[in-house]
Structures are given as C-alpha cells and as structure tokens.
Structure 1
Amino acid sequence: MFVHLTPSANAPRIRRSGIRAVSHGQGGARGVYCFPVLPSYTLTHQWLRELARFGGRGGLVAVHARLDDAQPVLVGRYADRARNAQVTVPAAEAVRRIAALADPRGWEVFVPRAIRPAELHRVRAAPQVVGWRYVPDAHGTRPCTCYGCRVRGGYGSRRLLERLPHPLDGPPPPVRVLLERVAAAGDPGDAATLREALHWFAMRRRGPLAQLARLAAHPDPAVREELVSAVGRWSTPGVAELLDGLADDPHPDVREAVELVRA
C-alpha cells in the first residue's frame, strides 16, 4: 500500500480516472511519486508540509493505492534523483528497504506509469501540519537566501531576504539604478557592467524590456546570453519575439540559452 499526496482539487478526477503520470522522475521518466504506508503516521505523510508549499488552495489529500508486489519502481532519497542513484526494484522490495531504515525521511518511491482506478484504495483528507519543510532537520538551520534556494512568494520570504541578504544574489538594486548603470556603460557598452546589471534583472518577474532589447545586438555573445537568462522567464509583452530573434543567434551559447529558458 502506498500513499500519494495531491491537491484536493484533483480528488474528483483521481476517483474517476486514477492518478495520471505527469511527474518527471529520474532520467526523464514520467510517473507518480508516492511513499509506503508505514506503521508511523508521521513518517507515512512526511512529505505533506513540504508539498503543501506548492499545493495550491484547499490543502492536500492522501490517495492510497495498492500496487502489485512485482511492480517495478524507483526508490531512493530525493537527492539521489539528480545523481541517477535511485534503483529499480519491485514494489515489495521498496517497502522492505524503506521500512528497515532507521530514518526514512527524504526517501521516495516513483512508479513509472499512471496508477489505474482499480488500484485505488481510498482518497481521504489529511492534516496539513505533518512532516518537515525544505529538508529533514531544517528547523534551526540558517536558511540560504541565494537565488537558487529561496522560494518566491513564500511566507515571510521578503522579510527573510531583507534580514539575511545574500552577498551575490540580493536583494537586487532598484530598477532605476540598474537602468542608470546600463546607460552609463555606453554604446555598445562595457560587457562586464552590462552582465552584472542583467544578473540582477534576472531576479525579477517583469522588467523594462524596451530599454534592454538593444542588447540583443551587443557584439559580445556573453552579454546576449545573459540577456536571454535575464528576460527569458519574464511575463513582459515582447519577450517571446525577442527570444525568437536570439534563437537564430550566430553563437551556439546564445542559442542554447534560448532552448533552456523555453524548455
């Protein structure tokens, strides 16, 4: 028996059609993440608080599914996924390995297919206060506020960034200051100054695209590549058209940067 945690809005569809294979696992496989039902309620639902940070409104529900003992699954710690260190074993062996661990926090099971309606056991509400957040034992550890670690829009994220500013990743200077630096760099402009300004612009959700679009013609490909990284995720109108032009850039690094932001 395994439990899959999902937003409550998905419950009617799951009862009707099962759990879709929409998650990406090790090696790019598509399937469903779950965890064995253990004697400990807390360990069984250990991922709840972490997933609830991204689970949307209405909280999460616990979907119990019974899989065949011989069903191949991937099992390992979350961190093993990036190293391709999770191993393929039968479902029964995955349960045995996790149940035998002294501390199974951070472990996960990945089923490389959809879970059919006939395999569902029940769908029930789950308390929203069980489990760890960020990583096991994160409580009491100084949080990292670098661009890669911080969560945009998270509870208290702005106060945390102001209290513990990262030396390289912010908080960024105001837009007015950054535009002054871009203008002071000249035309076409000093590459190092422009790349530093674009680094800060990359931390925004929207930005002054019209004032930066001229950098798409900068002679230094590193500036053009940094421009792609800065504006590629913006919701500002005109970003798609700018990326269309840079997708045919003569330098391969710039073209690769466009592919990455569009992936």
Structure 2
Amino acid sequence: MAMFVHLTSAADAPRIRRSGVRAAGRGQEGARGVHCFPVLPSHTLTHQWLRELARFGSRGGLVAVHVRLDDAEPVLTGHYRDAARGAQATVTAAEAVRRIAALEDPRGHEVFVPRAIAPREVHRIRRAPQTVGWRYLPDAHGTRPCTCFSCRVRGGHGARRLRERLPHPLDGPPPPPRVLLARVAAAGEPGDPAVLREALHWFGMRRRGPLAELAPLQAHPDPSVREALVWAVAGWNTPGVAGLLDRLAADPDPDVREAVLAVREP
C-alpha cells in the first residue's frame, strides 16, 4: 500500500473522518480529484506544499491527512507546471512514489488522485507543521518578486507596499487619477491615441474613476481609443458606467461593439 499526505483545513477534519476526502481539486484537463504527495523520509519534503497552500487561507490551520492507496491505483504525477500543459503522466500509485522519491529535487511535484478518497482509505489525521515548505515557487526566497497582474496576490500580506516598492511597467500600481487626467489633457484635441490608450490602461486597474472627464472619449475619431475606454470603465462601480456602455454598444466600429459584448458576458 502506498502512503500519501493530503493537506487541508483543520475545520474539514471531522468531515474527512466521517466521509473521506472530497474530489474538490482540479487536475489537468479539468479533472476533479484529490491532490497529495508521497510520504518521504524527509519531513520537510513531505509537507513542502504547506506554506503555499496556507497563502490561500485555512480555517484553524492546516492538517495532514495520511491516505493509503492500493499500489495499483492509477494516479497522475508530475511537476505542477506539467498539469497546465497536460503533460502529467498516468502511473500506478506505487510508481508515482518511486518516481518522486528518485528525484534529486522533488519540490513542486505532486500526485493527483482522479477520484474522492473513501473514509476507509484515510489512515490518520494529524496537526501539520505550519512553517514548512516554500511559497510562490521553489527557490523563490532571495529572488526579486514579480508584481505583474498574474503573479501578485491581491490582499496578501504587504502586497500594496511591495507593488509600490517594485512597480511593474504594465501592471502598476497605476498613477493617481489627477496625474492620468493631466496626461489626457496634455494629449491635445482630439488627443494622441497612444497617450490616451496608455492612460485608459491605468484607469482600467481602478475600481472607480472620473467618468465625466473620460466620457467625451466615446466620440474620439480613433476606434482603438473608444475600445480602450470600454475596457477601462468595464470594472468600475461608478454611477453612469452602464449608460456609457450602452452608447458604445452602438458604436460604428465592430471591435468596439465586440468589446462591449465581451465585458457584459456573464
């Protein structure tokens, strides 16, 4: 029997003892199942995913659920990046343990069981160490953090200070609205499209904005500016956004109309 560990919130422990582990995880190609990792001689490697999972919140800390699977049980294994490419290999549980144990550096590797775990397969549940493992990615400590939109964690500890200290050239943080409005005014009449598109790009990262000052851009002769206006105001909760999008939905340019349809898709 192959032994694996699944990390989850302590609040889920009573339900797991009663009903097992739900197939709530998402594997490659959207498959539902349970993520876990083999129990290796190294305590640190066995629980390597703990700090990364803790970044996304837990109720009462994390616990380690030890699971026994039949050696012939089919599972998927590989590096977590392989899942996005559909490159994880389907092997038996015993082979997954052998492959990961033989790696020189198994950090970032995982095992995915494409089904739920039954209560009889749960060997034990114990409190897991809360300070073990890597965050963001293996070897991230000591490297310059990326503050692009895809990498940053909104609301994370020190996230705002980090973005202010290491601003990303495309993903901010955005300049203050008064600075952006000054750039729009300095662009001239009707306005340099490149300057206006850049300003609208930064406005699109805000939750509210000066709609009255930007609304005249709906009549700009360059359709790329009107399309950028759609994407900029789409996420705002400022009163009047719906009316502006209604007018842009009747724009003579098809790209502008398609942008309005895209931002209004449920």
The equivalent of 1:94 in structure 2 is 96
Cα distance change on mapping 1:117 and 1:146 into 2, 3 Å: same
Question: Paired residue for 2:45?
Answer: 43
Instruction: Point out the more displaced range, 114-123 or 220-229.
Output: 220-229
- State how 1:197-212 maps to structure 2 within 5 Å: 197-204=199-206, 206-208=207-209, 210-211=211-212
Q: Quote how far apart the aligned CAs of 1:179 are.
A: 4.5
Sequence identity percentage: 75
Deviation at 1:147, TM superposition (A): 2.3
Distance 2:245 2:164 in 1: 33
Deviates more, 1:150-159 or 1:223-232: 223-232
Displacement of 1:62 in angstroms is 1.3
**Deviation larger for 132-141 or 44-53:** 132-141
1:62 maps to: 64
- Aligned CA distance change for structure 1 residues 228 and 143 (closer, same or farther; 3 Å): same
- Deviation string for 1:116-148 (max 9, x for gaps)? 222222222111100111111111112222222
State the shift of 1:34 in Å: 1.0
Letter of the 2:176 counterpart = P
Aligned pair count?
260
The aligned counterpart of 2:133 is 131
CA deviation after TM superposition for structure 1 residue 228, in Å: 5.8
Find the residue that maps to 1:32 and give its secondary structure.
Answer: strand
Q: Which residue of 2 aligns with 1:84?
A: 86
Q: Which residue is equivalent to 2:168?
A: 166
Instruction: Give the structure 2 partner of residue 254 of structure 1.
Output: 259
Once superposed, what is the RMSD of the aligned Cα atoms? 3.5
Q: What amino acid sits opposite 2:60 in the alignment?
A: G
Query: Unaligned stretches of 5+ in structure 2?
Result: none
152-161 or 189-198: which moved more? 189-198
User: Who wins on radius of gyration, i.e. which is larger?
Assistant: 2
Range with bigger deviation, 150-159 or 90-99: 150-159
140, 150, 156: which one aligns with 2:142: 140
What is the CA–CA distance in structure 2 between the aligned matches of 1:123 and 1:162, rounded to whole Å? Answer: 42
1:177 Cα deviation from its structure 2 partner: 3.1
Rounded Cα–Cα distance in structure 2 between residues aligned with 1:113 and 1:3: 15
Length-normalised TM-score, structure 1: 0.80
SS of corresponding position for 2:84:
coil
Shift of 1:166: 2.3
Distance 1:11 1:172 in 2: 43
Find the aligned partners of 2:250 and 2:67 in 1 and give their Cα distance.
48
The answer (yes or no) to whether the contact 2:203–2:209 under 8 Å persists in 1 is no
Pick from 147, 156, 159 the counterpart of residue 158 of structure 2. 156
Please say if residues 24 and 31 of structure 1, whose CA atoms lie closer than 8 Å, have aligned partners that are also in contact. yes
Structure 1, gaps ≥5 residues long: none
Counterpart code for 1:11: A
Q: CA deviation at 1:13?
A: 2.7
Q: TM-score, normalised by structure 2?
A: 0.79
Question: Which range moves more in the overlay, 209-218 or 119-128?
Answer: 209-218
**Partner of residue 111, structure 1:** 113
SS in 2 for 1:177: helix
1:99 Cα shift? Answer: 0.9
SS in 2 for 1:81: helix
